[in-house]
Amino acid sequence: MPRDKILVADDEQSMREFLEIMLKKEGYKVSLASSGEEVVKLMEKDIYDLILMDIRMPKLDGISALKKAKTISPETVVIMITAYASADTAIKAMKEGAYDYITKPFKIEEIKLIIKNALEKKNLQKENILLKQVVRERYHFENIIGQSSKMLELYDLLEKVAPTKTNILITGESGTGKELVAKAIHYNSPRKDKPFVTLNCGAIPETLIESELFGHMKGAFTDAIATKKGLFEVADEGTILLDEISELPLMMQVKLLRVLQDREFKRVGGTEDVRVDVRIISATNKDLEEGVREKRFREDLYYRLNVIQIRLPSLRERKEDIPVLVKHFLKKYSEELNKNISTLSPDALRILLNYHYPGNVRELQNIVERAVALESTQELTALNLSSYLNEQMPLKKQFDLDIPSEGIDLEKVVEEIERGLLLKALDKTKGIKKKAAELLHINFRSMRYRLEKYGLNHGPDS
């Protein structure tokens, strides 16, 4: 059944009541207004998908109300009704943004069809159905590539959790495919025909994240020039992925907790509660339990999000999957770049198997794309891998030490490797120690201790 909100505006009570009964039978949520002024007041409190409005109304007529409605919420579809058919009035209404124009008396089936078509067109503008079908095909489980025991365990878990409503926390290093797994869960669930939306919690300024999640009313803040639905409302009946959930500010963690508990929220500047049915999938490459211990992440929210945890293995943990991944990316980028490269030389495969992949599958994908772009033969050779990998290999070579017959000083070698990693992390973060600690997946106290140990404790903390 449709869940779209329709506002019926007519100065005749009998017409309002008739349309209300008819539309509610069709499954729509219906609100009523008896004047243009009431239309504006209601739109300042809530968002409507469609307005069915009489042109002749007291005080503020339908055309004037249409202009104001389009200023408040440009996405709302408006259909005008009148008993006085006039080509001039119809043209004026269409110029002001009306979707259509019907005259009284009208047939019930006619108005049902016009409303249905208007709402379908509105939804099509937001989501291309052909693209949605392509996305659905891409995110079946078989498109998460790998045949290792760890991946087989992952497929088994995904098959169990996808049909449920349970909130899921996906953890894993950057580049392991957290968003791909979230999409696979959605498109293999009963919600597959409903929206899948994503918010990167670390990419939105703290001042805007509430509006992004929950929407806002016109005039709620300086740049709120029109009413806007938030991602939770857009994702109603579907799934929302909150990526980098560890970056969500504490103030927003409280508000998110309310949505998880009550399944409702208020838009910024709004007074009406908005109820939604949304499955929440969260993703992070950080240790949320450590965030809880350090009071950076709410414990109650953590347990609400972490009903089922899916940990994605790093590529280093499933190196046996590298050949099949390379084959997949080789085919993908050969087609995209109009190359005829179908095989991989033994030396090239050996290099790829020996690399340590700090960027995981995403880095392997980039390596193959770059090599395919540079390759001039029909076989991917080691030559076009070397230029990139040689820049990354000095650190890797420290881990490939042989043990000579006279033995080695283990503690000294470990210290050299540790010192090299600390320096490399500091170099990547331009000397900012807190960021370097995050790169090394250690806490800041441990970072300071190690830097002092090697006489490297200089430069800014953050």
pLDDT in tens, 395-417: 444 555 567 666 777 887 787 78
349: domain CATH number?
1.10.8.60
Band of residue 168 on the pLDDT scale cut at 50, 70, 90: very high
User: Does a structural domain hold residue 262?
Assistant: yes
User: Position of tokens 């039978």?
Assistant: 25
Q: Between β-strands 379-380 and 343-344, what pairing exists: parallel, antiparallel or unpaired?
A: parallel
- Which residues does 345 contact at the CB level (< 8 Å), separation at least 6? 379, 380, 381, 382
Do residues 176 and 236 share a domain? yes
Do residues 50 and 176 share a domain? no
Do residues 324 and 286 share a domain? no
Across all residues in the chain, what is the average pLDDT?
85
- Which residues does 346 contact at the CB level (< 8 Å), separation at least 6? none
Q: What pLDDT, on the 0 to 100 scale, is given for residue 126?
A: 60
Band of residue 1 on the pLDDT scale cut at 50, 70, 90: very low
For the cut 70, the answer to whether the pLDDT of residue 60 exceeds it is: yes
CB 170 within 8 A of CB 178: yes
Do residues 175 and 301 share a domain? yes
173: domain CATH number?
3.40.50.300
Q: Between β-strands 215-216 and 228-229, what pairing exists: parallel, antiparallel or unpaired?
A: antiparallel
Do residues 389 and 426 share a domain? no
- Single-letter residue type at 100: D
- What is the average pLDDT across 370-377? 88
User: Does a structural domain hold residue 135?
Assistant: no
- Nearest 5°: phi and psi at 26? -80, -5
Count the alpha carbons within 13 Å of 141 in the hemisphere toward its beta carbon. Answer: 16
Q: Where are the beta strands (DSSP E) in 261-403?
A: 264-266, 273-275, 279-284, 308-311, 343-344, 379-380
CB 145 within 8 A of CB 186: no
Do residues 240 and 206 share a domain? yes
47: domain CATH number?
3.40.50.2300
- pLDDT tens string 278-318: 999 999 999 999 999 999 999 999 999 999 999 999 999 99
Q: How many CB atoms lie within 10 A of CB 341?
A: 20
Band of residue 344 on the pLDDT scale cut at 50, 70, 90: confident
* CA R_g for the chain: 29
For the cut 80, the answer to whether the pLDDT of residue 360 exceeds it is: yes
Q: What pLDDT, on the 0 to 100 scale, is given for residue 130?
A: 43
Q: What pLDDT, on the 0 to 100 scale, is given for residue 137?
A: 47
For 431, the domain range is 410-453
Do residues 33 and 48 share a domain? yes
The CA distance from 317 to 311, in Å, is 12
> What is the number of residues in the chain?
462
> How far is C-alpha 107 from the chain's CA centre?
43
Structure tokens at 31: 């609100």
- Nearest 5°: phi and psi at 22? -65, -45
- Look at the chain and report how many structural domains it folds into: 4
Percent of the chain with pLDDT over 90: 39
Q: What pLDDT, on the 0 to 100 scale, is given for residue 102?
A: 83
**Which of helix, strand or coil describes residue 58?**
coil
User: Does a structural domain hold residue 222?
Assistant: yes
For the cut 70, the answer to whether the pLDDT of residue 423 exceeds it is: yes
- What is the average pLDDT across 369-381? 88
